[in-house]
Protein backbone atom coordinates (compact mmCIF):
# COMPACT_ATOMS: atom_id res chain seq x y z
CA UNK A 1 0.00 0.00 0.00
CA UNK A 2 1.36 3.42 -0.94
CA UNK A 3 2.28 5.73 1.89
CA UNK A 4 0.35 9.03 2.02
CA UNK A 5 2.12 12.15 0.82
CA UNK A 6 3.21 14.08 3.92
CA UNK A 7 2.74 17.81 3.45
CA UNK A 8 3.82 20.58 5.79
CA UNK A 9 1.26 23.34 5.24
CA UNK A 10 1.91 26.83 6.59
CA UNK A 11 -0.97 29.33 6.70
CA UNK A 12 -2.22 31.60 9.47
CA UNK A 13 -5.71 32.11 7.99
CA UNK A 14 -8.25 29.45 9.18
CA UNK A 15 -10.62 29.73 6.20
CA UNK A 16 -7.77 29.21 3.73
CA UNK A 17 -6.53 26.21 5.69
CA UNK A 18 -10.02 24.75 5.57
CA UNK A 19 -10.21 25.31 1.81
CA UNK A 20 -6.91 23.51 1.23
CA UNK A 21 -7.77 20.73 3.68
CA UNK A 22 -11.09 20.13 1.91
CA UNK A 23 -9.41 19.92 -1.51
CA UNK A 24 -6.85 17.39 -0.29
CA UNK A 25 -9.36 15.27 1.64
CA UNK A 26 -11.31 14.74 -1.57
CA UNK A 27 -8.20 13.28 -3.18
CA UNK A 28 -8.33 9.48 -3.04
CA UNK A 29 -4.59 8.95 -3.57
CA UNK A 30 -3.94 10.08 -0.02
CA UNK A 31 -2.36 13.07 1.69
CA UNK A 32 -1.27 13.61 5.26
CA UNK A 33 -1.48 17.31 6.06
CA UNK A 34 0.52 18.73 8.96
CA UNK A 35 -0.40 22.34 9.62
CA UNK A 36 1.68 25.19 11.01
CA UNK A 37 0.30 28.67 11.69
CA UNK A 38 3.43 30.67 12.48
CA UNK A 39 7.10 30.92 11.63
CA UNK A 40 8.17 29.34 14.90
CA UNK A 41 5.68 26.52 14.44
CA UNK A 42 6.86 25.97 10.88
CA UNK A 43 10.56 25.84 11.78
CA UNK A 44 9.95 23.48 14.70
CA UNK A 45 7.81 21.12 12.61
CA UNK A 46 10.14 21.21 9.61
CA UNK A 47 13.04 20.18 11.85
CA UNK A 48 11.18 16.99 12.74
CA UNK A 49 11.57 15.83 9.14
CA UNK A 50 9.69 13.18 7.23
CA UNK A 51 7.91 15.51 4.80
CA UNK A 52 7.53 15.11 1.06
CA UNK A 53 6.53 18.69 0.27
CA UNK A 54 6.02 22.15 1.77
CA UNK A 55 2.89 24.16 0.97
CA UNK A 56 2.78 27.75 2.16
CA UNK A 57 0.68 30.86 1.90
CA UNK A 58 2.90 33.54 0.40
CA UNK A 59 2.43 35.90 3.32
CA UNK A 60 1.78 35.01 6.94
CA UNK A 61 2.51 37.18 9.92
CA UNK A 62 6.25 37.90 10.02
CA UNK A 63 7.09 35.31 7.35
CA UNK A 64 7.04 35.61 3.56
CA UNK A 65 7.11 32.84 0.98
CA UNK A 66 10.62 33.65 -0.17
CA UNK A 67 11.83 33.36 3.41
CA UNK A 68 10.24 29.92 3.57
CA UNK A 69 12.28 28.90 0.55
CA UNK A 70 15.43 30.11 2.28
CA UNK A 71 14.48 28.31 5.51
CA UNK A 72 13.89 25.01 3.67
CA UNK A 73 17.17 25.30 1.76
CA UNK A 74 19.03 26.22 4.98
CA UNK A 75 18.18 22.79 6.39
CA UNK A 76 19.96 21.16 3.45
CA UNK A 77 16.63 19.71 2.38
CA UNK A 78 15.55 19.43 -1.24
CA UNK A 79 11.85 19.42 -0.39
CA UNK A 80 9.75 20.97 -3.16
CA UNK A 81 7.88 24.10 -2.08
CA UNK A 82 4.51 25.15 -3.55
CA UNK A 83 3.44 28.76 -2.99
CA UNK A 84 -0.23 29.63 -2.44
CA UNK A 85 -0.80 33.26 -3.40
CA UNK A 86 -3.69 35.65 -3.84
CA UNK A 87 -5.23 36.70 -7.13
CA UNK A 88 -3.20 39.40 -8.83
CA UNK A 89 0.05 38.24 -7.23
CA UNK A 90 1.26 36.18 -10.20
CA UNK A 91 4.39 38.33 -10.56
CA UNK A 92 5.36 37.57 -6.98
CA UNK A 93 4.71 33.88 -7.55
CA UNK A 94 6.83 33.96 -10.71
CA UNK A 95 9.66 35.46 -8.68
CA UNK A 96 9.27 32.62 -6.19
CA UNK A 97 9.64 30.14 -9.06
CA UNK A 98 12.90 31.85 -10.06
CA UNK A 99 14.10 31.53 -6.47
CA UNK A 100 13.46 27.80 -6.40
CA UNK A 101 9.77 27.22 -5.67
CA UNK A 102 8.44 24.14 -7.44
CA UNK A 103 5.10 25.74 -8.42
CA UNK A 104 2.39 28.10 -7.24
CA UNK A 105 -1.39 28.01 -6.85
CA UNK A 106 -3.73 30.98 -6.96
CA UNK A 107 -5.85 31.22 -3.81
CA UNK A 108 -9.33 30.78 -5.29
CA UNK A 109 -11.67 27.79 -4.85
CA UNK A 110 -11.33 26.89 -8.53
CA UNK A 111 -7.53 26.81 -8.44
CA UNK A 112 -7.30 25.20 -5.00
CA UNK A 113 -9.40 22.28 -6.28
CA UNK A 114 -6.55 21.56 -8.69
CA UNK A 115 -4.03 21.48 -5.86
CA UNK A 116 -3.89 17.64 -5.64
CA UNK A 117 -2.97 17.46 -9.32
CA UNK A 118 -0.33 20.17 -8.86
CA UNK A 119 1.19 18.32 -5.90
CA UNK A 120 1.42 15.02 -7.77
CA UNK A 121 2.93 16.76 -10.79
CA UNK A 122 5.55 18.45 -8.62
CA UNK A 123 6.43 15.21 -6.81
CA UNK A 124 6.71 13.28 -10.08
CA UNK A 125 9.01 15.95 -11.47
CA UNK A 126 11.13 15.73 -8.32
CA UNK A 127 11.24 11.93 -8.58
CA UNK A 128 12.49 12.11 -12.14
CA UNK A 129 15.02 14.79 -11.20
CA UNK A 130 16.28 12.67 -8.30
CA UNK A 131 16.63 9.68 -10.63
CA UNK A 132 18.56 11.79 -13.11
CA UNK A 133 20.89 13.05 -10.38
CA UNK A 134 21.47 9.53 -9.08
CA UNK A 135 22.27 8.37 -12.60
CA UNK A 136 24.66 11.28 -13.08
CA UNK A 137 26.31 10.59 -9.72
CA UNK A 138 26.72 6.92 -10.62
CA UNK A 139 28.17 7.85 -13.99
CA UNK A 140 30.61 10.30 -12.40
CA UNK A 141 31.65 7.68 -9.84
CA UNK A 142 32.16 5.09 -12.59
CA UNK A 143 34.11 7.57 -14.69
CA UNK A 144 36.30 8.50 -11.71
CA UNK A 145 36.92 4.82 -10.96
CA UNK A 146 37.85 4.06 -14.56
CA UNK A 147 40.14 7.07 -14.70
CA UNK A 148 41.80 6.00 -11.45
CA UNK A 149 42.40 2.53 -12.91
CA UNK A 150 43.83 3.97 -16.12
CA UNK A 151 46.09 6.28 -14.14
CA UNK A 152 47.33 3.39 -12.03
CA UNK A 153 48.31 0.96 -14.79
CA UNK A 154 52.02 0.96 -15.71
CA UNK A 155 51.42 1.11 -19.47
CA UNK A 156 51.26 4.49 -21.19
CA UNK A 157 47.66 5.35 -22.14
CA UNK A 158 46.96 8.35 -24.35
CA UNK A 159 43.88 9.79 -26.04
CA UNK A 160 43.97 11.89 -29.20
CA UNK A 161 41.25 13.74 -31.08
CA UNK A 162 40.65 13.66 -34.83
CA UNK A 163 43.53 16.09 -35.34
CA UNK A 164 45.83 13.63 -33.54
CA UNK A 165 46.30 16.08 -30.68
CA UNK A 166 46.70 14.60 -27.22
CA UNK A 167 43.62 15.29 -25.06
CA UNK A 168 44.19 12.91 -22.14
CA UNK A 169 47.03 10.91 -20.60
CA UNK A 170 47.44 8.63 -17.62
CA UNK A 171 50.26 8.98 -15.09
CA UNK A 172 52.62 6.78 -17.12
CA UNK A 173 51.94 8.98 -20.16
CA UNK A 174 52.80 12.15 -18.23
CA UNK A 175 55.97 10.51 -16.88
CA UNK A 176 57.10 9.61 -20.39
CA UNK A 177 56.05 12.66 -22.41
CA UNK A 178 55.91 15.32 -19.69
CA UNK A 179 53.13 17.22 -17.92
CA UNK A 180 52.71 19.57 -20.88
CA UNK A 181 51.77 16.81 -23.35
CA UNK A 182 48.06 17.70 -23.38
CA UNK A 183 47.27 19.93 -26.34
CA UNK A 184 50.33 18.90 -28.34
CA UNK A 185 50.22 16.99 -31.61
CA UNK A 186 51.30 13.37 -31.41
CA UNK A 187 53.76 14.00 -34.26
CA UNK A 188 55.67 16.38 -31.98
CA UNK A 189 57.08 13.30 -30.25
CA UNK A 190 57.76 11.20 -33.35
CA UNK A 191 61.39 10.68 -34.36
CA UNK A 192 61.08 10.79 -38.15
CA UNK A 193 58.25 8.31 -37.99
CA UNK A 194 55.99 9.48 -40.80
CA UNK A 195 55.39 5.85 -41.70
CA UNK A 196 53.88 5.36 -38.25
CA UNK A 197 51.71 8.42 -38.73
CA UNK A 198 50.38 6.97 -41.96
CA UNK A 199 49.95 3.52 -40.43
CA UNK A 200 47.34 4.71 -37.93
CA UNK A 201 45.38 6.75 -40.47
CA UNK A 202 42.89 3.90 -41.17
CA UNK A 203 41.64 4.36 -37.60
CA UNK A 204 40.67 7.94 -38.30
CA UNK A 205 39.18 7.05 -41.67
CA UNK A 206 36.89 4.57 -39.93
CA UNK A 207 38.38 1.62 -41.84
CA UNK A 208 39.95 -0.12 -38.81
CA UNK A 209 38.97 -0.49 -35.16
CA UNK A 210 42.34 -1.57 -33.73
CA UNK A 211 45.86 -1.12 -35.05
CA UNK A 212 49.22 -2.28 -33.69
CA UNK A 213 52.25 -0.22 -34.52
CA UNK A 214 55.81 0.22 -33.24
CA UNK A 215 57.17 3.74 -33.15
CA UNK A 216 60.26 5.56 -31.95
CA UNK A 217 59.20 8.37 -29.62
CA UNK A 218 61.02 11.22 -27.98
CA UNK A 219 60.78 11.05 -24.20
CA UNK A 220 60.57 14.22 -22.08
CA UNK A 221 64.31 13.98 -21.31
CA UNK A 222 65.10 13.86 -25.03
CA UNK A 223 65.94 10.16 -25.18
CA UNK A 224 64.65 8.16 -28.12
CA UNK A 225 62.64 5.09 -27.09
CA UNK A 226 60.79 2.43 -29.06
CA UNK A 227 57.16 1.98 -28.03
CA UNK A 228 54.69 -0.72 -29.02
CA UNK A 229 51.27 0.90 -29.48
CA UNK A 230 47.81 -0.69 -29.47
CA UNK A 231 45.47 1.94 -30.89
CA UNK A 232 41.68 1.70 -30.72
CA UNK A 233 39.27 4.01 -32.53
CA UNK A 234 36.82 6.16 -30.52
CA UNK A 235 33.35 6.91 -31.91
CA UNK A 236 30.36 8.93 -30.79
CA UNK A 237 26.79 7.62 -30.47
CA UNK A 238 26.23 8.12 -34.21
CA UNK A 239 29.31 6.10 -35.14
CA UNK A 240 31.41 9.10 -36.14
CA UNK A 241 35.11 8.81 -35.39
CA UNK A 242 36.14 11.23 -32.63
CA UNK A 243 39.70 10.13 -32.01
CA UNK A 244 41.67 7.19 -30.67
CA UNK A 245 42.70 5.70 -27.35
CA UNK A 246 46.11 4.07 -27.35
CA UNK A 247 48.19 2.11 -24.89
CA UNK A 248 51.94 1.62 -25.19
CA UNK A 249 54.87 -0.01 -23.46
CA UNK A 250 58.58 0.34 -24.01
CA UNK A 251 60.23 -2.37 -26.11
CA UNK A 252 63.61 -0.71 -26.74
CA UNK A 253 65.64 -3.26 -24.78
CA UNK A 254 63.65 -6.19 -26.15
CA UNK A 255 64.13 -4.99 -29.72
CA UNK A 256 67.85 -4.49 -29.19
CA UNK A 257 68.13 -7.96 -27.67
CA UNK A 258 66.32 -9.40 -30.70
CA UNK A 259 68.69 -7.56 -33.02
CA UNK A 260 71.71 -8.77 -31.04
CA UNK A 261 70.48 -12.37 -31.26
CA UNK A 262 69.91 -12.00 -35.00
CA UNK A 263 73.43 -10.62 -35.53
CA UNK A 264 74.90 -13.38 -33.39
CA UNK A 265 73.01 -16.01 -35.40
CA UNK A 266 74.27 -14.51 -38.66
CA UNK A 267 77.86 -14.43 -37.42
CA UNK A 268 77.56 -17.99 -36.17
CA UNK A 269 76.20 -19.10 -39.54
CA UNK A 270 79.03 -17.37 -41.42
CA UNK A 271 81.67 -18.93 -39.15
CA UNK A 272 80.35 -22.38 -39.95
Where in the sequence is the domain holding 55, given as residue range(s)?
A: 5-129
Does the residue 154 lie in any domain?
Answer: yes
Across all residues in the chain, what is the average pLDDT? 84
Q: Is residue 124 located within the same domain as residue 178?
A: no
For every residue of 10-43, DSSP letters joined together read: E-S-HHHHHHHHHHHHT-TT-EEEEEE-SHHHHH
Q: Is residue 121 located within the same domain as residue 177?
A: no
* CATH code (residue 162): 3.30.450.20
Confidence of residue 268 (pLDDT cuts 50, 70, 90): confident
Q: Is residue 203 exposed (0-12), middle (13-18) or buried (19+ Cβ within 10 Å)?
A: buried
Percent of the chain with pLDDT over 70: 91
Q: Is the pLDDT of residue 234 over 90?
A: yes
Q: Which of 129, 162, 189 finishes a domain?
A: 129
Q: Is the pLDDT of residue 88 over 60?
A: no
Q: Which of 94, 129, 164 finishes a domain?
A: 129
Residue 77: closest CA among 53, 108, 99? 53
Strand order in the sheet with 53-57: 31-36, 5-10, 53-57, 81-85, 103-106
Q: Is the pLDDT of residue 136 over 80?
A: yes
pTM above 0.75, yes or no: no
* CATH code (residue 87): 3.40.50.2300
pLDDT digits (tens, 9 = 90+) for 140-189: 998 888 888 877 788 999 999 999 899 999 999 999 999 999 999 888 88
> What pLDDT does 172 receive?
93
Tell me whether strands 81-85 and 53-57 are parallel, antiparallel or unpaired.
Answer: parallel
Domain count, the chain: 2
Amino acid sequence: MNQPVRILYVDDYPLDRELVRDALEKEHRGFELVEATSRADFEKTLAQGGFDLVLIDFIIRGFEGLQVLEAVRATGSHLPVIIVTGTGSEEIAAEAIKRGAADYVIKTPKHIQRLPHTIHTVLEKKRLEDERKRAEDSLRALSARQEAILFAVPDIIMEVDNNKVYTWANQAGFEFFGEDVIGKAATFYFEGEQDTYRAVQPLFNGNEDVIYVESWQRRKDGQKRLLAWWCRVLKDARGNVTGALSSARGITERKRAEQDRARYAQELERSN
